Amino acid sequence: MSIKQNIYLNFDVVVFNTDEVEEARQLAKELNGVLYCWKTSGISNWLEMGLSMTDVLGIVVLPRGLPEQIDMLDDEVTDDQPNALI
């Protein structure tokens, strides 16, 4: 019998600005990695495989074989902005 289990992995990555696509591609080639876009909407953050310029904060290179979308921690809401981003 199998069960579904979430695992959490930590990677040290370079976050490239959206105008540094060529540098990110070069690193992906050197590391045999894959480009992911760091996307955001409201307080939510996630990594999405491939290149896109919609709601993108930056570009990272990750190892091959990971899911097409990877959830990241959401932004914290501060006391002075309790519902500003929701």
List, for residues 19-28, the tens digit of each pLDDT value: 999 999 999 9
Cβ(37)–Cβ(59) below 8 Å = yes
Range of the domain at 40: 21-69
Asked whether residue 50 is assigned to any structural domain, the reply reads: yes
Structure token digits, residue 81: 């902005």
Share in percent of the chain as helix, strand, coil (round to 5): 15, 30, 55
Element (H, E) at 63: strand 56-63
Does residue 5 form part of some domain?
no
Q: Is residue 49 part of a domain?
A: yes
Hey, what are 6's tokens? 């979430």
Residue 7 counted as domain residue: no
Any domain includes 16: no
pLDDT score, position 46: 93
**Residue 36 pairs with which residues in a beta bridge?**
49, 60
Q: Is residue 83 part of a domain?
A: no
Average pLDDT, stretch 34-38? Answer: 96
Classify residue 63: in a domain, yes or no: yes
